[in-house]
Structure 1
Amino acid sequence: METDGDLARAAQAGDVAAFAALAERHRMSMRITAIGVLGYTDEADDAVQDAMITAFRQIASLRVPDAAGAWLRAITRNACRMRLRTRVPAPVADPEPWMPAAAGPDELLDRAGTRDWVWHAIARLSGPIREVMLLRYFTGMSTYTQISHLCGISEDTVGSRLRDGRRILARSLRETAGDAFRDADADAAAMRQEAEQHFAVIHAGGYHRIIEDWFRPDLAVVFRGWLRGDRAAARAMIDRTMGAGVTATLHDATGSRDVMLWEGDFINPSSDPDHCPPRFAWLLSLREGRVARLGLAYGAAARA
C-alpha cells in the first residue's frame, strides 16, 4: 500500500489520481477536524470542500510530503477559522509550520494534466454554478460582493451556489481522476487570443459591428448587481469610454465553455485621470454562441 508520502510526491509530480486517493484517504479525518471547530453542521462539510480545493491548489508547496495528513487537517482548520472570522472579528492562531503559503488563483492550474482534469470537471457544472465557481477560485474578482455584482444575484445566492459547486466539483474530480481530456493550455490560449482581439477592435473603433454580431439582440447588461441595460446600452458605454480617450489593458481571460471572464485595467488620459476606475471585469455568459448577459464590475485599486 502506498504511503501518504508516496501519494503526495506523486501528486506534486502531476499525478491527479494520486491526489484524489490522498484526499479520499483523509476525508473522514478532515471532516472530524471541521466538526470539532464548527460543530455538527452543513458548514463543516462546506469547510472540508474548501480545504480540498485549497489543498489541490497548494500541493506543490507541501514541504513535508510524509506529513500530508497533518497538512490536510491544518488546511481544514484554517478553512474553518476563515468561516469563524465572518461570524465574529476575533484573532486566530497561525496555521501549523508545514502549512504552505497562500497561492494565487493562477497557481491552481500549474501542471498540464491537472489543468485538463480541473477544467473538465468545471465544464460539467451548470452555467449559474460554474460562473460563481470560476469567479471565486480562478479570478481576482472573488469576494461575495464582487461575484454578486457580476452575476446579478444576492450574496446569499452566491453562497448557496458555491456550496453546491464545491460538492459537485469534488465528486466530479474523484470520478474523473486519471482520465485524459482536451489540452487546457490550448483552450486557455485561444480564449486569451479572442479577448485580445476584441480589445484591439475596441481601440480601433470598430466595436459596433462586433456588438451586432456577437452580442445577442436580447442582451442583458448587469452592473453592480442590477439589470441596467441592453445591447444599445453596451454600445453607448463603450462609445463614452473610448471617446474620452480611455484605453484598456487586458490581464486575464478565464472561462469554461459558455462562461468567460475578462479582467484588466483602464488607462485614463492625463486630461481626465479619474474618468474610469482603475480595474474592471467583464463576465460574459453565452447562449448559442453569442453573449446573452454582460456583467460589469469595477475595482477601486489597480492591479499590482
Structure 2
Amino acid sequence: MVFPDPPTDEELTLRAQAGESGALGLLLARHQAPMRAVALSLLGYGPDAEDAMQDAFVTALRRIGDVRDPAAVGAWLRAVVRNAARMRLRAVRETPGLDGLDHLHLPDPATCPDKAIERHAMRDWIWSAVEQLPAQLQLVLMLRHFTDITSYQQIATACGVPVGTVRSRLNQARGKLAEALLSTAEEAHDDASALTEDSRQEAVATLQASRLGRRLPQEIAELWPEEAELLGVLAEPGERSHPIPAMRQNLDKGVRQDLRHVVASRDVTIWEMDVTNPADVADPCPSTLAWLMFRKDRKVRTLRVVFPEPPR
C-alpha cells in the first residue's frame, strides 16, 4: 500500500491563505516545537515563553496572508515568535492587542472577494475558539483585545478583582485559546458577525425604549428577566438591584448614552457607550461607560456597568 506524501509547507500555507482553517492548524502543529525553541532561547523556561507562544499563534492566525514565500513559512512563524518574545523583553508599558489586531491593513472586500472570505473564515474560527473558554476568561480576553478597556488596572476595576487575578486569567485564556484553535481548526464555525449584529440591535432597542420612556419591546424585555442583577457602581450597596430601574434613573437625570461599540459571544456581551451629560449637571458621569453582561440561554443574568475613566 502506498501512502500519499504529506502536504508541504508551501501547500498548507497556500490553502490557509485561501481560508482553509484546517491547513493553518496543521501548520501550527507542525512548527510548534521549533517555535517553542525560539521562545525558550530568548525567555527561558517559564510562563513568559508560553505567553509568547500563545501570542504568536494568534498573530499567525491574523497575518497568515502576509507570508510572501509560502515555502519558507517555518522561518516566518519563528520570526513571529521572536518578535513576540522581544516585545516581552523590552516592554516598558502595557499595550493591548492580539498582536496587531487593530492595525491590520486589510484589503477592500469589494476588490478582493477571496481575501474577504479568508478574513471572515479566520474571524469565525477565532470567535468559535473564544466561546470554548469559561465566561470569566472570555470577559478578560474580550476586554483586553476587543474594547477600549485595555490596561490591566482598568480590567481589574471593571471585573472587581485584583490586577494579579487579571494577569492570571489572561494567561489562562491565551493558553486555552491556543488549544481551542488547534482543536477546532477543521470544524464548521458559526457566523460571528451575525451574533454581534443581533446584540447591536438589542442595544439600540433597549436604549431607544428607555430614552423614550416606553416599555421595552417584548423580545427585548425577555433579555432582562426578573432574576437579572445589576452589579457595580450603579447598584445599591448591599441590595439586589434590577438593571432597568437604574437605567431609567440615569435618564431622569438627563444623562444620555449612545452606543459606540459591541463585542459579543453567546455567554458574554460588552456594549461600549458614549455619555452626554446635561449642561448644568453638578456631578457629571465620565464620557464613556461599558455594560458587561453575562448571559445564559440568551438572557442577561448579571450586568456590571463600569466607567473606564474616573469621574471628572
Q: Distance in 1 between matches of 2:181 and 2:246?
A: 40
- Pairs aligned (count): 287
Aligned to 2:174: 166
Matches within 5 A, 1:1-304: 1-85=6-90, 89=92, 102-104=100-102, 111-206=119-214, 214-217=224-227, 219-223=229-233, 232=241, 234-235=243-244, 237-272=246-281, 275-287=284-296, 289-300=298-309
Per-residue CA deviation, residues 225-262 of structure 1 (Å, 9 max, x unaligned), is: x9956554745643443233332221222222121111
Per-residue CA deviation, residues 270-296 of structure 1 (Å, 9 max, x unaligned), is: 445982222221110124554332223
Root-mean-square deviation over aligned CA pairs? 3.4
Deviation at 1:197, TM superposition (A): 1.4
- Cα 1:78–1:273 change in 2 (3 A) is farther
Query: Aligned with 1:111: secondary structure?
Result: helix
Q: Distance in 2 between matches of 1:265 and 1:161?
A: 28
Structure of higher CA gyration radius: 2
Per-residue CA deviation, residues 199-234 of structure 1 (Å, 9 max, x unaligned), is: 22232234789789715446141249x995655474
Output the TM-score relative to the length of structure 2. 0.77
Bigger mean CA offset, 237-246 vs 155-164? 237-246
Higher strand share: 1
Q: Distance in 2 between matches of 1:81 and 1:230?
A: 48
Per-residue CA deviation, residues 83-109 of structure 1 (Å, 9 max, x unaligned), is: 3345xx49xxxxxxxxxx9231898x9
Q: Distance in 2 between matches of 1:200 and 1:9?
A: 47
Q: Distance in 1 between matches of 2:62 and 2:282?
A: 38
Query: Aligned with 1:125: secondary structure?
Result: coil
Output the TM-score relative to the length of structure 1. 0.79
Partner amino acid, structure 2, of 1:221: L
User: Is the Cα–Cα contact under 8 Å of residues 149 and 296 in structure 1 kept in the other structure?
Assistant: no
Which 5+ residue runs of structure 1 have no aligned equivalent? 91-100
Q: Distance in 2 between matches of 1:163 and 1:74?
A: 22
Which 5+ residue runs of structure 2 have no aligned equivalent? 1-5, 94-98, 107-116
Aligned to 1:94: none
- Cα 1:122–1:270 change in 2 (3 A) is same
